[in-house]
Amino acid sequence: MLHRIVVKIGSSSLTSEEGGLNESATRFFAAELASLISAGYQPVLVTSGAVAAGFREIGYAQRPKLLHEKQAAAAVGQALLMQAYREAFARHGVRSAQVLLTRADFNSRKRMGNASMALEELLKQNVIPIINENDTVSVDELKFGDNDTLSALVANLLKADHLLILTDMDGLYTKDPRIDPAAVRISKVEEITDELYLAAGGAGSSVGTGGMRSKLDAARIGTRGGIPVFVGRITLEGEMLAAVRGDGHGTYFSTSLANLPRKKQWLGFLSTPLGRLYVDEGAAEALIHGGRSLLPVGVKRVQGSFHAGDVVEVYGPDEATLGRGIINYDAEQLDTIKGLSSAEVVKRIDLVHRLEVIHRDEWISLK
């Protein structure tokens, strides 16, 4: 089976600071992706750059800030972007296809399944999918995290072997190297901590919307789904293949976890929690390390208005997020039985469903 590689390229790598598409950059990256194919890999491209490529063409003096202006610029820029990629890939005998997605496509498990089948068929036919957010119809301020989050979701969806997130920085540093000369590049990350987020700082270039923080978010999603992630810079011939093989100029995020089933992906990263549960130390231990379900006795506090079948977030005694799960009780009902033993719960209410508050099969840990 071919090793599947999802490669995300940001706006800063494809356009100039002033805006407009850098076609030599698209040709370079197309050549690098073609080299992966020649080496026996199966690449999938997630690209940004539609707004950056289009705003000059449409007549704006600078990158627009209003939503409808971004949408218009994206409509122009997406066509330019795909034309450049199509011509660049054709030089290497590689066929390409445009796939536009929105967050709503991932919120719906059915639409996720449809997207997955279409992508799998393209790959089966040896066509490289070029995926971008559908910026022209997006209503969430076009922020998928400069497509960093999108690339991690796609990597999970396709059960990729690696995720490469390319940027104009050669990895994550202890501090911002543009400001502090004492900053040191972090070559490998075993665990994504709060300290790493502090080191990541703010946004990136003026033509992009993402920075290192959004790349950390993407790395968290990728590694949680069992996918090793590389964040770094590729500027010379052969460096993409080197990055896949572990010799890239950047930061590697390792993982020992297995690929997540599609349901768990949706539950953990795409569902909308409608409430919060706060649990005691024993319940937290059972959920995180014991592989067990959450029972009423472990629930200390209930927040929000939700019904059986909704998704809720669960917090530990220190109020840190533990994970998400599908609840088996309405909020009012759970509030009356929280902290009670299973025997007491059976006495108090007529169970029409499972005793568990959240069954372990309907749970994903995010800790």
- DSSP secondary structure letters along 278-335: EE-HHHHHHHHTS---B-GGGEEEEEE---TT-EEEEE-TT--EEEEEE-SS-HHHHH
- Hey, what are 83's tokens? 């034309």
The helix-helix angle for 23-38 and 67-90 (nearest 10°) equals 50
Q: 263, 286, 307: which is the final residue of a domain?
A: 263
Same domain (yes/no): 344, 212? no
CB 82 within 8 A of CB 44: no
- pLDDT of 314-365, one tens digit each? 999 999 999 999 999 999 999 999 999 999 998 888 776 689 999 999 999 9
Count structural domains, the chain: 2
Predicted local distance difference test score (pLDDT) of residue 141: 47
Task: Report d(CA 39, CA 34) in Å as an integer.
Answer: 9
Same domain (yes/no): 191, 276? no
Same domain (yes/no): 235, 287? no
Predicted local distance difference test score (pLDDT) of residue 350: 76
Same domain (yes/no): 224, 321? no
Distances (CA, A) of 348 to 269, 298, 329, 336, 351: 35, 17, 14, 9, 9
Same domain (yes/no): 108, 224? yes
Task: Report d(CA 227, CA 253) in Å as an integer.
Answer: 9
Predicted local distance difference test score (pLDDT) of residue 89: 98
Which regions in the chain score pLDDT beneath 50?
141-142, 203-210
Same domain (yes/no): 312, 239? no
CB neighbourhood size of 340 (10 A): 17
Predicted local distance difference test score (pLDDT) of residue 145: 57
Entry pTM: 0.84
- Hey, what are 291's tokens? 């592989």
- pLDDT of 298-316, one tens digit each? 999 999 999 999 999 999 9
Instruction: Give the phi and the psi of residue 94 in degrees, each rounded to 5.
Output: -105, 130
| Cβ-based neighbours of 79, under 8 Å, separated by 6 or more | none
* Helix ranges, the chain (H): 11-14, 23-38, 50-58, 67-90, 103-107, 109-124, 148-157, 194-200, 212-224, 239-244, 262-265, 281-288, 331-337, 342-348
Please give the distance of CA 143 from its chain centroid, rounded to a whole number: 12
CATH of the domain at 210: 3.40.1160.10
Task: Report d(CA 98, CA 78) in Å as an integer.
Answer: 10
Predicted local distance difference test score (pLDDT) of residue 144: 65
The C-alpha angle with vertex 32 and arms to 31 and 34, in degrees rounded to 5, equals 65
Determine the structural domain holding residue 136 and report its residue range: 3-263
Predicted local distance difference test score (pLDDT) of residue 262: 79
Q: What size, in residues, is the chain?
A: 367
Same domain (yes/no): 213, 317? no
Same domain (yes/no): 17, 166? yes
CB neighbourhood size of 36 (10 A): 20
Q: 245, 263, 281: which is the final residue of a domain?
A: 263
Predicted local distance difference test score (pLDDT) of residue 143: 56
| List of long-range contacts for 82-86, beta carbons under 8 Å, 24+ apart | 82/130, 84/21, 84/23, 84/26, 84/27, 85/26, 85/30, 85/45, 85/47, 85/130
Query: What is the chain's alpha carbon radius of gyration, rounded to the nearest angstrom?
Result: 22
Task: Report d(CA 48, CA 11) in Å as an integer.
Answer: 5
- Of residues 354, 343, 358, 352, the one with CA closest to residue 313: 358
Same domain (yes/no): 169, 294? no
Same domain (yes/no): 218, 360? no
CATH of the domain at 301: 2.30.130.10
CB 297 within 8 A of CB 339: yes
The C-alpha angle with vertex 77 and arms to 134 and 37, in degrees rounded to 5, equals 75
